[in-house]
Structure 1
């Protein structure tokens, strides 16, 4: 009897589709029994079944309704991921609240988030008492993180004069010196990969006094002209020598976030607080990031798809042997492959194309790929 081919339908914006659905991924997945099928957004989703799984990164009430209708007709379909779970990452406050809810203890390392506040109107923006707990410089980010061009417009604000150019609602997040290095942690089910990338350089008290009021992140490429950031800075910084966070520490945070958010595909940005060598701050979480930039992403995603389909078969087989309310519903379970003794299936995951709320970083170079760690 021929081995069964599982069909995974993908619904992605054209830009995301071009970067993620590479021939190398499609070929490897098919060789492992996974057929990646493009969902036609010009046709009703419910007419394009059956599918074993739907992989998506689309938003809106109409799409959510279509997923619900498909689930009614094909109750065993796995949806990666739940629109409600993804929605939490569209607000930069609720996005990081989950970090504060994690209960993870390590002997030497600690973690948290930077100080931040929400500014809903201009009056609050210029009311210094409303946010006197924050120190300059601060990073100004749109409150909404939905992947739109507007949500990417961020700025580094050095003093009160820079506030004049900001348009609420925004989040003001305290900029923490971190040695010009950011750690990007990719999560694919139980798989966790941490890589180090270049970030904004530290801001000294002296530079803070002479800096211009506001610097848009779109201007980062021009920073060398102002002698704030250039190749000399990074050569002195010795990126290659930067110590990675402990494997177990990053893994525990990744798995904790996965459980708390009910998401399987995401990345998060971590910086090491320069004031404390063992203090780490999570500054951003992204749903369904640019995995094609991750080394060997084809094998990682294919393994994940195979695990999901294997678990689905187990649940379907179990349901065939049961009747009535004892049947397991996929929509009520989360895929926790990382805890093999607790393996359970579901329809959930995470959010964001690229680096929507993090500090600007450089593309992953060959050297940086070699410096990445897998945990």
Structure 2
């Protein structure tokens, strides 16, 4: 299989439908249903860079093919079995082709084999002894088997894990395949060269009393726990990014300590980059709280954030407090971080670091404190920063009249991004910057791992993402060989 040669995949209906529905034609009775694991297979195939077609009688699966943007091959209603057609013959001349079935048809297999197709049989037993027929015991194993076959033929590519990423090799030789929690993780990791993960999405529980002692007190999903054990037992295994490098971003107090190290950025007469002033608290009723606020230079309004930054349901439940009395009965989880609220003209600058590339986008943000206070009704303003963030209205934006990026010192923030990359030793991360009205201070108010990059065009983010992964892999492999 040469690089650049298309890969075609044909899924026979017997692979996708429950046996009774598949045998009945997949749509005549109206009772056709997908077998367990079929949807988990179809979703990543949609973004795989493979040419995928479903082979079936007319009916139910035609809708499935359309839903996932696949091709389809209608079968003769009389036989209900697949056979070589003109399109499949054309594919065999121009592409590397795989046929996936749960039905043994020796004559079809022989015909496909003569046209250089590879057959993947999914089922408990396979009596066919043919080097062109590959046996896959369970549907969940199919993607890993397919990616491994593609990798072996290309030769130098790497197989990576997780997400809607191409199974067919990218321009720089990356093959992605999702891990399945229904199969032994250690068995799957024997076939891959590197793991791409978002460990923060796999957190089941965090003990807030241990939050400053990460990774102690963290419970992960069973699959992620198995990956962590595997990596600990195989220190030369490449992972993006190492778990210990990500742990500080789970704790807003630790994030604050990281950002304080940026205080040297910026010179007199130019923009200054800094962390927001903040204070960690374990109890909102502490008699010494007012004195502690004064010692660190904090004044109202204050934004109150849980110390645990992600991985738990209430990590993004926050409040804006306008006076001391509003701490009473505040529902933000403890321990918490009190942070100065910065008037920033209702604009926030989201920065994304992907390897050596830095991107940024401008988004509407929370209004200035005066607008928020006038609408709070004398109560603290509570919100979820992911779901119910109070964003400025058109009226607020017109009154602030901030010209999106003219106040942003891009060079200053990009220098800080490179500093953070070296400090954090992360390949992919993001942070948010606001520009304080009046002072022009550039304040980093949030730092997170593997953001969505949804504001960055795919034409820029995707190549940078692939390059960053490949560079990290080559660096890790070079270190293990020295």
TM-score by length of 1: 0.70
Of residues 244, 251, 257, the one that matches 1:84 is: 244
Partner of 1:5: 157
Deviation of the 1:209 alpha carbon: 11
Greater Cα offset, 121-130 or 44-53: 121-130
Distance 1:105 1:164, change over 3 A: closer
For structure 1, the 5+ residue unaligned runs are: 11-16, 320-326, 328-375
Of residues 397, 403, 408, the one that matches 1:245 is: 408
Query: What is the distance in 1 between the residues matched to 2:311 and 2:317?
Result: 11
Tell me, yes or no, if structure 1 residue 191 matches structure 2 residue 357: yes
Deviation of the 1:103 alpha carbon: 7.0
Tell me, yes or no, if structure 1 residue 273 matches structure 2 residue 425: no
How do residues 48-197 of structure 1 correspond to structure 2 at under 5 angstroms? 48=188, 49-58=190-199, 59=203, 60=219, 63=224, 66-70=227-231, 72-73=233-234, 75-102=235-262, 104-107=264-267, 108-124=270-286, 127-132=289-294, 133-167=297-331, 168-197=334-363
The question of whether the paired residues in 2 share the 8 Å contact of 1:136 and 1:159 is answered with yes
Greater Cα offset, 64-73 or 34-43: 64-73
Deviation of the 1:149 alpha carbon: 2.1
Deviation of the 1:259 alpha carbon: 1.1
Partner of 2:422: 259
User: 1:151 is paired with a residue of what secondary structure?
Assistant: coil
Deviation of the 1:303 alpha carbon: 2.3
Distance 1:125 1:267, change over 3 A: farther
The structure whose RCO (Cα within 8 Å, separation 6+) is larger is 1
Partner of 1:30: 170
Distance 1:123 1:198, change over 3 A: same
The question of whether the paired residues in 1 share the 8 Å contact of 2:320 and 2:382 is answered with yes
Query: What is the distance in 2 between the residues matched to 1:77 and 1:266?
Result: 21
Tell me, yes or no, if structure 1 residue 291 matches structure 2 residue 457: no
Distance 1:5 1:162, change over 3 A: same
Partner of 1:42: 182
Root-mean-square deviation (CA), in Å? 3.1
The question of whether the paired residues in 2 share the 8 Å contact of 1:271 and 1:281 is answered with yes
Deviation of the 1:119 alpha carbon: 1.2
Deviation of the 1:123 alpha carbon: 3.0
Structure index of larger Rg: 2
Deviation of the 1:213 alpha carbon: 2.3
Query: What is the distance in 1 between the residues matched to 2:194 and 2:389?
Result: 44
User: 1:30 is paired with a residue of what secondary structure?
Assistant: coil
Query: What is the distance in 2 between the residues matched to 1:222 and 1:253?
Result: 27
The question of whether the paired residues in 1 share the 8 Å contact of 2:352 and 2:429 is answered with yes
The question of whether the paired residues in 1 share the 8 Å contact of 2:351 and 2:359 is answered with yes
Higher helix share: 1
Query: What is the distance in 1 between the residues matched to 2:375 and 2:455?
Result: 37
Partner of 1:355: none
Distance 1:137 1:32, change over 3 A: same
Show CA shifts across 1:102-122 (max 9, x none): 475444222111111111024
TM-score by length of 2: 0.56
The question of whether the paired residues in 1 share the 8 Å contact of 2:303 and 2:319 is answered with yes
The question of whether the paired residues in 2 share the 8 Å contact of 1:187 and 1:264 is answered with yes
The question of whether the paired residues in 1 share the 8 Å contact of 2:361 and 2:455 is answered with no
Deviation of the 1:28 alpha carbon: 8.1
Distance 1:230 1:66, change over 3 A: closer
Partner of 1:368: none
User: 1:150 is paired with a residue of what secondary structure?
Assistant: coil
Of residues 378, 402, 407, the one that matches 1:212 is: 378
Query: What is the distance in 2 between the residues matched to 1:283 and 1:177?
Result: 12
User: 2:438 is paired with a residue of what secondary structure?
Assistant: coil
Tell me, yes or no, if structure 1 residue 233 matches structure 2 residue 373: no
Partner of 1:359: none
Deviation of the 1:238 alpha carbon: 4.5
